A = this chain, B = another copy of it.
Amino acid sequence: MSNPLPVGATIGILGGGQLGRMLSIAASRLGLKTHIFEPGANPPAMDVAHTVTTAGYDDQDALTAFANAVDVITYEFENIPTSALDLLETLKPLHPGRQALATSQDRLVEKTFLRDLGLQTAPFANVENADDLAEAIKTIGTPAILKTRTMGYDGKGQARIMTPDQADSALADMAGAAAILEGFVDFKIEISIIAARNPDGAVACYDPGENVHVDGILSTTTVPATLTPSQRTDAVLLAARILNALDYVGVMGVELFVTPQGLIVNEIAPRVHNSGHWTQNGCVIDQFEQHIRAVAGWPLGDGSRHSNVVMENLIGDDMDRVPEAAKTNAAIHLYGKADVKAGRKMGHINRITGNA
């Protein structure tokens, strides 16, 4: 067993959004403090973190002071500038590590990694220019989707190509950014599996959740998902293979398409994941505590579930539904964001639907 962080130690978290907020709450339960590093003012995590540093990722002094003040560094989003990581990892352990970040920050690297692991992905091709795109459309066919290789999330940086004549317009949408063409996958359902690995190599998975997206943003996750026992087994084995290959430490969200040809990996996120929020009310040890346990070198929870849950995101004006939801015995989780904006994740609701 590696040396676990002692009670009272401090977890440094890059990013102070809702994931950092819920990580901070989980850490506090274990008697661990959190120190948030976040460029924006008044981040959601501020209300529940022990310390907040407000500074940019190019502020070397602030990064150094942050690293010196914490015992281990983790993050709530994968698009952290490389220069910041280069500095931080010389000062304190960074979990999950650089290999996981480098893989998930770039869709082309990620898809190539998954394919090389022997896992199924959507057909894909690198697109650097119009010629590449024309060639890729020939190979992959349409409909397909052009995505920036980096920095995309929640459907941003994506353009659908329903017919070959939409290629130019889609390429223009990329605004010169490096891109990847992905073939459409004809899937029955999308699921995600939230997996964790600690420094000793122990792996634990939660039961997969079934996801429904609306306008490219996760709307609901339902647990249990509609899966056969062998599909469940496949999902667990596949997740473990990914985490082991990356010598991963922390929680990872793995999005999968369920197809007649088996499970196809859509994408991986090297962090706690929106589709794992149901664990807060379905499990004794939720994904946030699981991640904190992993990066702190503590034993992992076994991923067992006491209740079935439907998680519903509150996006933008969905906040208007909170007063009604408060009457229903549902678990309400709000992120403390002052401004309601269209498309902005404001909170989520977990409804227990029965014993597991």
Residue numbers of A with Cβ under 8 A of B are 4, 7-8, 21, 24-25, 28-31, 33-34, 46-50, 281, 284-285, 293, 298-299, 301-302, 304, 306-307, 319, 322-323, 326-327, 329-336, 338, 347, 350, 352, 355-356
In the bound complex, residues from chain B placing their C-beta under 8 Å from that of A329 are 284-285, 301-302, 304
In the bound complex, residues from chain B placing their C-beta under 8 Å from that of A8 are 336, 338
C-alpha spacing A356/B306, complex, angstroms: 10
Chain B min CB distance to A34 (Å) = 8
Do B284 and A335 have beta carbons less than 8 Å apart? no
| Chain copies in the assembled complex | 2
Do B284 and A33 have beta carbons less than 8 Å apart? no
- A284-B331, A332-B29, A347-B31 known; A306 vs B306 contact (CB < 8 Å): yes
In the bound complex, residues from chain B placing their C-beta under 8 Å from that of A301 are 329
C-alpha spacing A208/B173, complex, angstroms: 61
C-alpha spacing A37/B299, complex, angstroms: 36
10 nearest A-B residue pairs (beta carbon):
A31-B334, A355-B355, A299-B327, A47-B50, A48-B48, A284-B331, A299-B326, A28-B48, A306-B307, A302-B329
C-alpha spacing A25/B28, complex, angstroms: 9
In the bound complex, residues from chain B placing their C-beta under 8 Å from that of A47 are 28, 33-34, 48-50
Query: From A284, which residue of chain B is reached at the shortest CB distance?
Result: B331
Chain B min CB distance to A1 (Å) = 9
Chain B CB within 10 A, most for which of A25, A319, A336: A336
Do B334 and A30 have beta carbons less than 8 Å apart? yes
Do A281 and B284 have beta carbons less than 8 Å apart? yes
Chain B min CB distance to A47 (Å) = 5
24 contacts between A and B (CB under 8 A): A7-B319, A7-B322, A25-B29, A25-B48, A29-B333, A31-B334, A31-B335, A33-B47, A33-B336, A46-B50, A47-B50, A48-B48, A281-B284, A284-B329, A284-B331, A284-B352, A285-B329, A285-B331, A293-B326, A301-B329, A306-B306, A306-B355, A355-B355, A355-B356
Chain B CB within 10 A, most for which of A48, A50, A293: A48
C-alpha spacing A338/B21, complex, angstroms: 23
C-alpha spacing A330/B8, complex, angstroms: 19
- A31-B336, A284-B281, A306-B307 known; A323 vs B48 contact (CB < 8 Å): no
